[in-house]
Amino acid sequence: MRKQLKYIFTGILLLSISIGFAQRTQKDTINTGVIDVVKPYAPTISDAFKVKEIPSLDDEATETKKEIKYNIFSFPVASTFTPAKGKAAVVEKRAPVKLFDNYATLGVGTYTTVLGEVYYNHAISRNESVGGYVSHHSSAGGIEGVSFNDNFSNSKINLNYSSRLRDLAWNVKAGFQHQMYNWYGVPESQITQAQDNNIEVDHSFFDAHFGGEIEFEDTYINSGSFLFRRFGDNQGSGENRFIAKAKIDVPINDIEISTDFKIDYLGGTFDRNYVTNDQLNYGNFQIGLSSTYQLKQDDLTLDLGVSLYYLNDKESGDNNFYIYPNITATYSLVNDVLIAYGGIKGGLIQNSYYGFAKENPFVSPTLSITPTDQLYNAYVGLKGKLSSNMSYNVSGHYLADRNKALFRNNEITLTNEDYTYGNSFGMVYDNVDTFGVAGEINVDVNRNFKLGIKAEYFSYSTDDEVEAWNLPDIKGSLFLDYQINEYWFAGANLFYIGERKDQFFLNDGTTITSPFTVVLDSYFDANTHIGYHINDQLSVFAKANNIANDAYQKWQNFPVQSIQFLAGATYKFDF
């Protein structure tokens, strides 16, 4: 408490002294007098006044701007214009085309040609349907310069039934076919003797088959099929073939391997071989397994796989195992404009009497039949679009075939068999390497006009045979389809086949010369047709075949019919 009183008294004392000193100072005054400047005045920059950025003007011409106000005086105007309501543009559509489930065609033409077809399809229910197909094509012949019957006929009937369930779809089919051709291609040197022997040149084929297919949804087994075929002729030949296939996706460590499984049995017999009367038997059993793994990355699609085959030759008892590559790749260089592709594949090709007779109906019933071992088929190519309606495809390939089947004119044996006068073909086998290049262009000008052109070139190399018999060096084709208007339609197709080589014999009646090579001329076959739709159901048409009127030889000593005309009608209907 004492310290606080001490501090208070000290403060009061100091305050009193300060007030007294201030009062004494205020009483001081400055004496007036003359001030002598002993140093001239030196102004500094701080003494200058800054010029204002916007100086004030004292000018009579300068006046304050007046505010301008705008007023719009509107008044009503009488008008008779009434705007129309907007409507969306409407594209003109064609009337929908009426589709029919069935049709029948009948045509007749030169060389007493008859062409008939009937197609039938009926839906039993929403998921079931049955169908059938019957056709007949025949000609009485009459080729100029031919001394023997050259008529032919081809008739067939097919039936089918299909069903679609929730998780699978399946169908069964059966059919029968009868074909008749003639060994009319007797060379000029053998005509007299063949006529003296009254040879019968007709050769008929019979074919009956039964098969089925099944497809599954959301299972590892994608599809399966089977086919049994019985094929024979009027010369005592017979062949059985059974094929079963399955397509399965095999999962391995989260990877699916697409696998094709195949069983192929072939067995047949001929009454005799070409030289002797000994019966000729053939047949084999194949098991094939082909697996592929697909790899996709950006624009590259790569299929990597291998094909395995087991072959059992039932006549010789030999067993063989084959391994083939199964690799393909595609790479999009410029979207759909430029796509590069390539691959290397191989396989064991099953040859059969049915297949040979289908390709060349003038074969003799004395064939040696064995499978072809295609070591590899390597190919590369480019494809794409040149424009929105034009596509192209250019490719090259190299094939290595072992025991490739070649058609060759049979020797003249001076026997009593109807097909031993140089008027039939047999099979020879050789190791053939084939190099080929091909190019094609397809043009879709619009949905009413389509055009396609294709050309191929081949070069062959053989081991034992002098030539690659009856294989052409050039192939070309052109097709055109034009829907002129609602009623008229037209089309054309042209084929060009280059030179082929075959062997030929000369016979003076007692001895036969050694075979020598002949060159078959190239040929050009042009065909066209035109038609008119009378109504939705009835149409009429006319066709012209072999317009060049050239009786060319597709096979040695077998000229074809010259220019042919055919006219007919097609009727569509529903039940």
Q: pLDDT digit string (tens) for 58-94?
A: 555 455 555 666 565 555 555 565 666 666 666 666 6
In a domain, 423, yes or no: yes
Q: What is the pTM of this model?
A: 0.82
Q: What pLDDT score does 306 carry?
A: 96
User: So what's the pLDDT on residue 22?
Assistant: 41
Tally of residues, the chain: 575
Cα 495 from Cα 85, distance rounded (Å): 60
Confidence of residue 19 (pLDDT cuts 50, 70, 90): very low
Q: How many CA atoms lie within 13 A of 149 on its CB side?
A: 15
Question: Confidence band (pLDDT; 50, 70, 90) for 515?
Answer: confident
**Nearest-angstrom CA–CA distance, 281 and 314:** 10
Indicate whether 96 belongs to any domain. Answer: no
The residue that leads in pLDDT, 28 or 68, is: 68
pLDDT band for position 3 (cuts 50, 70, 90) = very low
Tally of structural domains, the chain: 1
Res 41: pLDDT = 56
CATH at residue 256: 2.40.170.20
Residue with tokens 């592929």: 292
Q: Average of pLDDT values for 156-176? A: 95
336-376: pLDDT as tens digits: 889 999 999 999 999 999 999 999 999 999 999 999 999 99
Q: What share of the chain is helix, strand, coil (3-state, %, to 5)?
A: 10, 55, 35
**Would you state the structure tokens that stand for residue 130, as one six-digit string?**
């049955």
- The answer to whether 470 touches 460, Cβ cutoff 8 Å, is no
Distance CA 511, CA 197 (A): 18
Which residues lie closer than 8 Å to 559 by C-beta, 6 or more apart? 143, 145, 146, 185, 551, 552, 553
- Per-residue pLDDT, 98: 76
Residue-level pLDDT at 557: 94
pLDDT (0 to 100) of residue 514: 75
pLDDT at 475 over 50: yes
Low-confidence winner among 43-47, 127-131, 301-305 (lowest mean pLDDT): 43-47
479: which residues sit within 8 A by CB, 6+ positions away? Answer: 450, 451, 452, 491, 492, 493, 494
Per the domain annotation, does 11 fall within a domain? no
| Calpha distance 332→474 (Å, rounded) | 30
User: What is the C-alpha separation between 190 and 336, in angstroms, rounded?
Assistant: 59
Residue 450 and residue 481 in contact, taking contact as beta carbons nearer than 8 Å: yes
**Phi, psi angles (nearest 5°) of residue 546:** 55, 55
Yes or no: say if 419 and 425 are a contact pair by the CB < 8 Å rule: no
CB 160 within 8 A of CB 130: yes
Q: Is the pLDDT of residue 119 over 90?
A: yes
Question: Quick one: tokens of 330?
Answer: 């595609």
Of residues 433 and 167, the one with the higher pLDDT is 433
Q: pLDDT of 403-440, one tens digit each?
A: 999 999 998 886 778 999 999 999 999 999 999 999 99
Give the residue from 454, 498, 503 showing the smallest Cα distance to 480: 454
**pLDDT the model gives residue 510:** 58
Cβ–Cβ under 8 Å, residues 279 and 366? no
Work out the average pLDDT over 185-195: 90
Percentage of the chain modeled with pLDDT above 70: 82
Q: How far apart are CA 485 and CA 94, in angstroms?
A: 12
Confidence of residue 478 (pLDDT cuts 50, 70, 90): very high
Structural domain includes residue 4:
no
- pLDDT computed for residue 23 by the predictor: 44
User: Comparing C-alpha atoms, which of 432, 528, 438 is closest to residue 475?
Assistant: 438
CA distance 341 to 381: 5
Host domain of residue 361: 110-573
Amino acid at 36: D
What single DSSP character describes residue 11? H
Distance (Å, whole) CA 397 – CA 351: 22
- Is the predicted pLDDT of residue 11 greater than 90, yes or no? no
Query: What SS3 class is residue 407?
Result: strand
pLDDT of residue 352: 97
Is residue 17 pLDDT above 50, yes or no?
Answer: no
Give the C-alpha separation, 335 to 384, whole Å. 9
In a domain, 326, yes or no: yes
DSSP code, position 46: G
In degrees and rounded to multiples of 5, residue 79 shows phi and psi of -140, 140
- Which residues are within 8 A (CB) of 443 and not within 5 positions of it... i.e. 6 or more apart? 389, 390, 450, 451, 452
The winner for highest mean pLDDT among 28-42, 182-196, 344-358 is 344-358
Strand partners, 455: 439, 476
* Distance (Å, whole) CA 156 – CA 229: 14
Cβ-in-10-Å burial (0-12, 13-18, 19+) of 188 comes to: exposed
Q: Within a domain: residue 384?
A: yes
Give strand ranges (E) for 410-551: 425-446, 449-462, 474-483, 488-497, 500-504, 516-520, 523-533, 538-545
pLDDT at 55: 55
Is residue 546 included in any domain, yes or no?
Answer: yes
- Predicted confidence at residue 416, as pLDDT, reads 79
From the list 292, 325, 331, the residue with the least C-alpha distance to 309 is 325
Q: Going by DSSP bridges, is the β-strand pair 319-334/390-409 parallel, antiparallel, or unpaired?
A: unpaired
pLDDT of 25 strictly over 50: no
CA-to-CA distance for 543 and 529, rounded, in angstroms? 4
Residue 38 has what DSSP assignment?
-
Q: What is the CA radius of gyration of the chain?
A: 48
Is there a contact between 532 and 569 (Cβ–Cβ < 8 Å)? no
In this prediction, residue 399 carries a pLDDT of: 97
| Of 503, 424, 518, 421, residue with least CA distance to 192 | 421
Could you tell me if 167 and 216 are in contact, meaning their C-beta atoms sit under 8 angstroms apart?
yes
Angle at 423 between CA 419 and CA 426, to 5 degrees: 75
Let me know if residue 105 belongs to a domain. no
| Contact call for residues 292 and 305 (beta carbons, < 8 A) | yes
pLDDT of 27 reads 45
pLDDT given at position 426: 95
The more confidently predicted of residues 381 and 86 is: 381
| Reported confidence tier of residue 15, pLDDT bands at 50, 70, 90 | very low
Q: What is the pLDDT of residue 256?
A: 82
Give the lowest-confidence range in 95-104, 139-148, 308-317. Answer: 95-104
Neighbour count for residue 152 (Cβ, 10 Å): 20
Whole-angstrom CA distances from 349 to 23, 311, 373, 505 are 137, 11, 6, 32
CB 516 within 8 Å of CB 408: no
